């Protein structure tokens, strides 16, 4: 693919995996609707078996630009993204968490390298942005996993685990996502890198929350991510 001659993009699909985010999901949809981007935007909110009333909030938010899909039981973030990808129609695909840690006002930063023909995959890095609110153990874990990624895949990423990932749809169309949980992040990164695609990083803001505020990822997920990085480095890349 010739990066010097970028294709014309007309639409953006935003996949919002949601699990027990009753307090924040309406606000994230409001922020999404407020972003000015040069595309038609479709939002696919995937309620991953929420049990806190999130489904009732989402029922009031669906319209011509926001589609709500539902898992009857909780299956995990990776499974929710997989459901969203299957329904996405946009030329570009972006993952947006529903917990307000990531600000949709950063979308233009992610989109800019693609419009300028510099990249087909862009990650938002929390470690080069203007604000960082992250617990020390999470900081160490994220930096360690990025280091392992760089060693195994000869990359130069500062934030492999970022939830802000933007893709040219054609880059990920042939990739089968197997992960059901948070190991989606290392799996998609590994498979993109092994297919020879460079990942461009841009600085983003980040407002991390704690477990008491609803943060769901734990240290156990770090071990799953490490296993995924090793696994997808050495498996055959026929899918």
Task: Report all structural domains of the chain as residue ranges with CATH numbers, in order of start.
Answer: 11-233 (3.90.550.10)
Average pLDDT (96-118) is 96
Q: List, for residues 174-225, the tens digit of each pLDDT value.
A: 899 999 988 999 999 999 999 999 999 999 999 875 654 555 566 576 788 9
CA distance 213 to 141: 20
Average pLDDT, the chain: 90
pTM beyond 0.85: the answer is yes
Q: Classify burial at 115, counting beta carbons within 10 Å of its beta carbon; exposed 0-12, middle 13-18, buried 19 or more.
A: middle
Neighbours of 158 (CB within 10 A): 17
At residue 66, does pLDDT exceed 90? yes
CA distances from 16 to 45, 81, 117, 147 (A): 5, 8, 26, 27
CA distances from 179 to 69, 82, 88, 187 (A): 19, 9, 18, 7
CA distance 238 to 128: 34
Give residue 140's pLDDT: 86
At residue 49, does pLDDT exceed 60? yes
Dmax over Cα atoms in the chain, in whole Å? 48
Considering only residues 33 and 209, tell me which one the structure prediction assigns the higher pLDDT: 33
CA triple 129-26-28, angle to 5 deg? 15
CA distance 105 to 204: 9
At residue 135, does pLDDT exceed 90? no
Q: List, for residues 215-236, the tens digit of each pLDDT value.
A: 556 657 678 899 999 999 988 7
Give residue 210's pLDDT: 60
């Amino acid at each position: 693919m010739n990066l010097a001659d970028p294709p014309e993009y007309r639409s953006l699909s935003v996949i919002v995996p949601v699990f027990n985010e009753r307090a924040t999901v309406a606000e994230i949809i409001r922020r999404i609707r407020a972003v000015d981007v040069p595309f038609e935007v479709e939002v696919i909110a995937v309620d991953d078996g929420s049990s806190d009333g999130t489904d009732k909030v989402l029922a009031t938010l669906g319209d011509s630009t926001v589609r709500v899909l539902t898992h009857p039981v909780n299956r995990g973030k990776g499974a929710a993204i997989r459901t969203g990808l299957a329904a996405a129609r946009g030329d570009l695909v972006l993952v947006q968490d529903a917990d307000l840690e990531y600000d949709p006002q950063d979308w233009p930063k992610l989109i800019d390298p693609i419009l300028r023909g510099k990249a087909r995959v862009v990650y938002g890095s929390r470690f080069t942005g203007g604000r960082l609110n992250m617990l020390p153990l999470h900081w160490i874990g994220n930096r360690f996993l990025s280091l392992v990624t760089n060693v195994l895949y000869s990359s130069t990423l500062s934030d492999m685990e970022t939830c802000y990932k933007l893709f040219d749809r054609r880059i990920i169309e042939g990739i089968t996502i197997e992960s059901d949980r948070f190991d989606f992040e290392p799996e998609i990164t590994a498979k993109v890198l092994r297919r020879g695609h460079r990942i461009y990083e841009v600085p983003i803001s980040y407002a991390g929350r704690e477990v008491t505020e609803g943060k769901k990822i734990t240290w156990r997920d770090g071990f799953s991510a490490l296993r995924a990085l090793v696994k997808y480095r050495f498996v055959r890349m026929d899918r």
